[in-house]
Structure 1
């Protein structure tokens, strides 16, 4: 589930009085306005088999419609490219090697892509979604609709304000993944290597 990322960074600037379905649509509409975003992340992962929490940190890049780059910098170095349901590992020379996705990762990746590109109908086919709070400080709670996904994934929570601040993923086996984003900003120009990794011209 380390590769789960998600993928994600959004900007929200909507009516602070919006509630329920109106709040959800307001958030999604704003998320779809930012085509490329960078952020720093810290990820903590806890599994029943391990007594210590696994912590990693690094940088991520999300590009609407193309996917994301997840660059772990501590405690080891690793770069992953997630495009749709496909994940590849990128080595220091830029060579790509396919990585087998774990069960449930494809659905989570598609949900996040749908949120970030404003395709709420696609998200709601996969998940029951509940929105609470205000546009200034909101929470989205996702519960899988499909029984085969629900056997693996318990739920997902997104928390945010002006930007997405946190993603929490709870699996049925007791594994918890908590990702917090900081220093979120528009991505600006992409490097040639970033474009190649995400299949951009």
Structure 2
């Protein structure tokens, strides 16, 4: 075979996967596609000072145009709403009270919303981002750039397919949090009560 043709064939073979590589924009488009996602979550907080992780469970509702409802069932019942305006907690009367926004916890929740909504521009502003895998099975690795986030996190690992499935937060003090999204589906619209919670 002609050596030149062999070289061209090998070059095409090497470059073709790059041309079809799964990139951050494609991931953003994929995660931003569903209008509403319902699911359950299990969160495990691993603290250096405790032999067993602290586990919390509940349900979530992610609405592309509204924000995130984070409905904690155990160990205590507490509802949170995370939107572009900030974080609110449901009070005993059923209303929403805004929480102070200038904290590492607020940054974490803003980050969480950006991840679930596929906001790659927001992530790239605050992190060095590495993506591997394909549309069916991908991993996103985030290393903080901003000083505030560097004080809290060493690294954040996110895994998923059509939707986000797992988030791991590795903290600077040696603690870590693992969050598993379970039975996530995008086939139901917002209920009337969920719509009211976002509108309140």
Taking structure 1 as the reference length, the TM-score comes to 0.79
* Unaligned ranges ≥5, structure 1: 1-16
CA-atom RMSD in angstroms: 2.6
Q: Relative to 1, partners in 2 of residues 1:115 and 1:44: Cα closer, same or farther, differing over 3 Å?
A: closer
> 3-state DSSP class of the match of 1:198?
helix
C-alpha contact (below 8 Å) 1:128/1:143 kept by paired residues? yes
- Residue 151 of structure 1 corresponds to 151
- Residue 24 of structure 1 corresponds to 24
Deviation at 1:120, TM superposition (A): 2.2
- Residue 184 of structure 2 corresponds to 184
- Residue 82 of structure 1 corresponds to 82
Deviation at 1:155, TM superposition (A): 1.6
Q: Relative to 1, partners in 2 of residues 1:28 and 1:100: Cα closer, same or farther, differing over 3 Å?
A: same
- Residue 9 of structure 2 corresponds to none
- Residue 44 of structure 1 corresponds to 44
* Unaligned ranges ≥5, structure 2: 1-16
Q: Deviation string for 1:63-104 (max 9, x for gaps)?
A: 113211111112321111111362222145412233345833
- Residue 107 of structure 2 corresponds to 107
- Residue 12 of structure 1 corresponds to none
C-alpha contact (below 8 Å) 2:45/2:175 kept by paired residues? yes
Taking structure 2 as the reference length, the TM-score comes to 0.79
Paired with 2:101 and 2:154, the residues of 1 have a C-alpha distance of: 18
Q: How many residues align?
A: 184
Q: Which has the larger helix fraction?
A: 2
